[in-house]
Structure formats: structure tokens, C-alpha cells
């Protein structure tokens, strides 16, 4: 026999979760006991709900899905920020909230952790805006149906879901789970629509003399990386990759033509996109950031927009198709046209790696990037934080198999620390490396303590440039100065009476090289390397991008 809580635990384990992230509270304690009773899942405590939601977000990146369990209202409202991030980044993170005792709903009772009114529905109502399914269970009878509905919708849509379980129902008896395939089966594309879409797309590409492929971040949620590669190899064109899709097409592939970010693309890539007369955009997301303040938005009649479940070819709009089905079927139909590849071979000049600077000299951003590049291997996954870390990371060359994670759509500073913690638990075989600015680190620093607790050998490059430099480049003011911390010293604080975290400081190239050596040897905990660089030592790309974004932000209101 199952309880509501053990039913949920079984389902979470069945969809592949080996961990769930929690912050306890009296509304979820009985539920946490029920989840603990499942031997296939480990419960992972976090310092606060924002961090727990980002840890789950990072875990979902590594593992395909994740769960975060928090208390009613006060816990949920903090976690919902990371849930918004999971929505924006297309990750099925399940937010599970404890809820009030069923006897208090509608009984004119006031409860703690609420607004002090008789309304207990607002957390679920808010969650409705940030998830693809938000359910509040009100009886053990309906629990299996509602839990399955939320999980199934999240897995199919690659979006988060919210499940609220009253504190007096978590251990109430309920039905046993049915076959797991009822949650995970994806409906196939409609064959007639698929054929029509492929015919239209193949005709469009055949009518272009210079077709190009552009890879976007939704390729991963759509499970379409393999199909995209198959299409690239059939068409033989150059392949440009958006920063948020970095790593989804191998950078050592002969057709890889660089990172596409408007005027701050890697060398030759923007010129190639301008020169192309037909673009197949697969899983792309065009925002003010990814189009560099709307300066590189592709013209609609020049593109095929192949989205997660919608394919638009000029003059056509097909929906309810699986992107992987479309790309794979199109690969079987296209005629090879390597024109953009030939052109790219003409204009590309191999990018010289940044030169090593005198090792005793003051540490520069360039030298830091050079040493991080040398650290990357097939086993590495690099997580880069909002700020110049985005730009420091996106132009690195990924060795075959290396991973890259960026939260460019939601862009919440502080994401990378809890997300690397979650990622490392979800992918224990990977060498996780995080790059974060000082300002971002101050938002979620406590989660380094969980890396210590779980002995995760994550390497954190903490770039201390004494402030919010990305904001300086967009719009400067006194608000961009922050209180300096002893970031390296903080690790001793977190180790306290037990722990093998290491905090190191690097002010020169030599010191950085030595610190990286120590970090590699520290297999029993995280190593934070505080890299001291000048406040205005930032990428030229962030300066140009920041100016364009500022111009877009400053457009005056349209007069009616």
C-alpha cells in the first residue's frame, strides 16, 4: 500500500531522480519522512529555497529532471524564482510544496506563514504563471491522478510543475503507481504534417544558394542534438551556434563556424550569417540579449524557424511536430550545399590563443581565460555566471565531450553556485567548473557549504573585479560598487569543524597556476580560487554588447 508521499517518491525515482533538494518546514516534515523512506533517492538539504530551486535547476541540466521540496508559502515564494528560471531555460523541475491541513481550508482559520488572510490559494495561483501544471491536492483519492498529470506535463513540455500536498495528507493511504510509460511516452509527430513541413523546408533550402544552420538552446529540451547533427552533415553547410546552445554542436566538428552573437560573434561568424541567404534556425531564441539589443535579429523571410513543437517556413506554419523528427526527416531530403562552408574556410583565420603574460605580473582577465582554457578536458562541464563570466566562457574552445551551461534567458545573478552544486550531484563523473563574478557570488554564496558537506570537488573561479562590471558597461552609477569580501577566507568559515573546502587567492599568473594545481589535487571538496583583477579589465565583447543593450533599453516610448 502507498501513501501520497510514498507514491510521489516512487514516481520521482521512476523518472530518474536519485536526489531531491529540500528545505524543511512544518508544512512538509511528514512529506519529507515519506520521501526519505524511498531507498532509491537521497534527500539533499539546502541553505534556503532560492538556492534549492537553483540546485534543482542545475541537477535537471545534468540529469534531465529534478525536484525541490519546500514549505508552504514562505518557502514556495522564494523557490518560485528558480522555477521561473527553469521555465525560461526549458527544464522540468518539480516544485513540491507542503500545504495547510485540509481542515483549515475554508474554516475561517488564520495560519502562520500566510498573508494573515483566509486565502491559502495564492502560492498555487502564482505558480500557475511560472509552470506548465500547478496542482493542489485536496484528497488522497485524487493524489495519484494530480501528481501524474503534473509530472507528465512537465516531462512532455520540458517545463517546471508545482505540486502542493497538505501536511495531513502526506502520509494518507492512496493507490499504487501504474506503469511509468504513462508519464514518459511522447506522442509521435503527425506523419502528414511532418511530411508537409519537410517538403516546404526542403524546397526553401533548395531555393537558396547560401544556406546556413543556426543552433539554439531548445535543441537540448527537444532531444534534437543528434538529428541536428545529421541534418548538418547532410546539408554540408556551415553551422553557427548561439551562446546559450554552446556545446550542443561539437566545436571540433569541421562544420562548426563559431558562436553567433551579432557584432560580438566569434571571428567570421557574423559575416557568414549576413552573407547567407537562407538560415535554418533550430531551437533558437531571439531576445534583446541574444540579438545584441535587436541589432542582429534575422529577417523573417530569410529563415526557417524550427522550434520545440512548431516549424515555420516562409508561407507555412506547422505545429505539434517534434523537432527531432523534423530535422531527421529533413536530413533525408535535403540536397547538399556547402557554399557557406566554402566561404567560411576562406574568411576564417584560426584564433590565436591568448598569449601567456609574464607570470609574476598582475593577473589579467586574458591570462585567467588562458589558464581556464588549458584546464578544460573531455570530462569538464563549465558553468558560467551572468556578468563578464558569460563572455569569458562563451569564446572558449570546448574539447570534444566538454559541457557548457549558461542561464542566459533568466539571467539571475547567483545561479551558478547552487546550479553547479546540483549539476555535480546529477553528473558525478564530470569535472564541474564554475566561473562567477564577485557580485553574483554574494547572492548565493552559502551553497558552497553544501559542496563541502557532500565532498564535491568543484572548482570555482571567483572573479573579484570589485563590483558589478556588466552593469557598469550597460549603465554606470554608484550602485555598481559593492562591499568587498574575503572570498577565499570564506571557505574556512564554511569548513568550520569539518570539511575539505579550499579557498585560495591569485593576484598573479603564477599564483593562479599554482592554485589550479592545488584545486586539481583537492578531490575531497570544492576549491574556490579568488582571482583578483582590475575593475575595468573586462572583455571588449561585453563592452560592445552592453552598449547595444543600453541603447535598446533607452528607446523612448512610442508616441501614439
Give contact residues for ligand TPU (rule: CB under 6 A).
386-389, 411-413, 437-440, 463, 465, 467-471
Choice between 81 and 102, CB closer to ligand TPU:
81
Q: Which is nearer to Mg ion, 114 or 469 (CB)?
A: 469
* DSSP string for 426-495: H-TTSEEEEEEEHHHHHHHGGGHHHHHHTT---EEEEEE-SS-HHHHHHS--GGG------HHHHHHHHH
Residue number with CB closer to Mg ion (277 or 476): 476
Q: 283 vs 387, which CB is nearer to ligand TPU?
A: 387
User: Smallest gap, in angstroms, from Cβ of residue 512 to Mg ion?
Assistant: 17
CA distance 65 to 62: 8
Query: Minimum Å distance from CB 264 to ligand TPU?
Result: 15
**CA angle at residue 250 from 249 to 252, to 5 degrees?**
145
Residue 412 site contact among ligand TPU, Mg ion, none (CB < 5 to 8 Å, cut-off depends on kind): ligand TPU
Nearest in space to 185 (alpha carbons), one of 155, 220, 206, 149: 155
Cβ 479 to ligand TPU shortest distance, Å: 8
CB of 468 to ligand TPU, least distance (A): 3
Burial (0-12, 13-18, 19+ Cβ within 10 Å), 346: exposed
Residue closer to ligand TPU, measured from CB, 82 or 250:
82
SS3 504: strand
Minimum distance from residue 451 beta carbon to Mg ion (Å): 21
DSSP 175-203: PPP--THHHHPPPPPPHHHHHHHHHHHHH
Q: How many residues bind Mg ion (CB under 5 A)?
A: 5
The closest alpha carbon to 94, from 35, 138, 152, 175, belongs to 152
First-to-last alpha carbon distance for the chain, in angstroms, is 65
C-alpha cell at 231: 541534418
Closer residue to Mg ion (CB): 197 or 533: 533
Site for Mg ion in 462-491 (CB under 5 A): 465, 469
Name the strand (E) or helix (H) holding 149. helix 143-157
Distance of CA 409 to the CA centre of its chain: 8
Measured from the CB atom, the residue of 427 and 472 that comes closer to Mg ion is 472
Among ligand TPU, Mg ion, none, the one that 544 touches (CB under a kind-dependent 5 to 8 A) is none
Sites for Mg ion among residues 433-452 (CB under 5 A): 437-439
Residue 539 interacting with Mg ion (CB under 5 A): no
SS3 142: coil
Q: In the complex, what is the shortest distance from the CB of residue 43 to ligand TPU, in angstroms, rounded to a whole number?
A: 27
| Cβ distance to ligand TPU smaller for residue 354 or 411 | 411
Vertex 397 angle, CA 394 and 403, to 5°: 75
Least CB distance to Mg ion at residue 58 (A): 21
Report what 386 binds from ligand TPU, Mg ion, none; CB cut-off 5-8 Å by kind.
ligand TPU
Which residues of the shown chain bind Mg ion in the complex (CB under 5 A)? 437-439, 465, 469
Amino acid at each position: 500500500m502507498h501513501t501520497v508521499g510514498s507514491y510521489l517518491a516512487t514516481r520521482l525515482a521512476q523518472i530518474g531522480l536519485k536526489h531531491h533538494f529540500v528545505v524543511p518546514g512544518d508544512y512538509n516534515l511528514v512529506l519529507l519522512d515519506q520521501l526519505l523512506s524511498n531507498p532509491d533517492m537521497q534527500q539533499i538539504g539546502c541553505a534556503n529555497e532560492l538556492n534549492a530551486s537553483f540546485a534543482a535547476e542545475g541537477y535537471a541540466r545534468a540529469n534531465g529532471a529534478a525536484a525541490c521540496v519546500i514549505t508552504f508559502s514562505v518557502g514556495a515564494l522564494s523557490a518560485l524564482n528558480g522555477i521561473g528560471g527553469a521555465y525560461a531555460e526549458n527544464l522540468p523541475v518539480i516544485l513540491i510544496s507542503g500545504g495547510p491541513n485540509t481542515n483549515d481550508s475554508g474554516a475561517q482559520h488564520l495560519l502562520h506563514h500566510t498573508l494573515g488572510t483566509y486565502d491559502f490559494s495564492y502560492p498555487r495561483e502564482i505558480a500557475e504563471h511560472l509552470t506548465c501544471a500547478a496542482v493542489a491536492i485536496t484528497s488522497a483519492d485524487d493524489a495519484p491522478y494530480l501528481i501524474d498529470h503534473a509530472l507528465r506535463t512537465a516531462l512532455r513540455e520540458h517545463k517546471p510543475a508545482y505540486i502542493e500536498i497538505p501536511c495531513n495528507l502526506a502520509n494518507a493511504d492512496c493507490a499504487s503507481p501504474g506503469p511509468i510509460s504513462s508519464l514518459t511516452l511522447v506522442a509521435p509527430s503527425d506523419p502528414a504534417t511532418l511530411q508537409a513541413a519537410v517538403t516546404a523546408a526542403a524546397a526553401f533550402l533548395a531555393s537558396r544558394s547560401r544556406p546556413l544552420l543556426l543552433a539554439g538552446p531548445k535543441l537540448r529540451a527537444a532531444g534534437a542534438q543528434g538529428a541536428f547533427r545529421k541534418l548538418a552533415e547532410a546539408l554540408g553547410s556551415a553551422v553557427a551556434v548561439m551562446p546559450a546552445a554552446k556545446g550542443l554542436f561539437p566545436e571540433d566538428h569541421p562544420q562548426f563556424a563559431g558562436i553567433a552573437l551579432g557584432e560580438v560573434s566569434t571571428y567570421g561568424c557574423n559575416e557568414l550569417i549576413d552573407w547567407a541567404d537562407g538560415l535554418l534556425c533550430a531551437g533558437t531564441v531571439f531576445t534583446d540579449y541574444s540579438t545584441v539589443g535587436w541589432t542582429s535579429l534575422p529577417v523573417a523571410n530569410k529563415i526557417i524557424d524550427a522550434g520545440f513543437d512548431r516549424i515555420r517556413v516562409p508561407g507555412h506554419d506547422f505545429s505539434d511536430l517534434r523537432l527531432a523528427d523534423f530535422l531527421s526527416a529533413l536530413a533525408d531530403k535535403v540536397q547538399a550545399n556547402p557554399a557557406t562552408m566554402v566561404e567560411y574556410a576562406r574568411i576564417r583565420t584560426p584564433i590565436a590563443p591568448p598569449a601567456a603574460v609574464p607570470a609574476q605580473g598582475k593577473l589579467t582577465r586574458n591570462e585567467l581565460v588562458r589558464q581556464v582554457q588549458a584546464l578544460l578536458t573531455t570530462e569538464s562541464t563549465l558553468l558560467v555566471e551572468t556578468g563578464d563570466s558569460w563572455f569569458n566562457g562563451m569564446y572558449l574552445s570546448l574539447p570534444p565531450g566538454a559541457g557548457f551551461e549558461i542561464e542566459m534567458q533568466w539571467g539571475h545573478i547567483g545561479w551558478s553556485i547552487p546550479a553547479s552544486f546540483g549539476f555535480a550531484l546529477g553528473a558525478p563523473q564530470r569535472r564541474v567548473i564554475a566561473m562567477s563574478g564577485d557580485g553574483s557570488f554574494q547572492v548565493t554564496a552559502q551553497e558552497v557549504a553544501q559542496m563541502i558537506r557532500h565532498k564535491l570537488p568543484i572548482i570555482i573561479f571567483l572573479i573579484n573585479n570589485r563590483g558589478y562590471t556588466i552593469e557598469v558597461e550597460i549603465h554606470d552609477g554608484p550602485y555598481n560598487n559593492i562591499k568587498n569580501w574575503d572570498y577565499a577566507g570564506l571557505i574556512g568559515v564554511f569548513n568550520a569543524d569539518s570539511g575539505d573546502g579550499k579557498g585560495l587567492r591569485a593576484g598573479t599568473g603564477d599564483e593562479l597556476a599554482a592554485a589550479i594545481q592545488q584545486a586539481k589535487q583537492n578531490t575531497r571538496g570544492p576549491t574556490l580560487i579568488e582571482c583578483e583583477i582590475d575593475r575595468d579589465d573586462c572583455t571588449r565583447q561585453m563592452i560592445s554588447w552592453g552598449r547595444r543593450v543600453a541603447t535598446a533599453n533607452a528607446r523612448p516610448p512610442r508616441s501614439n
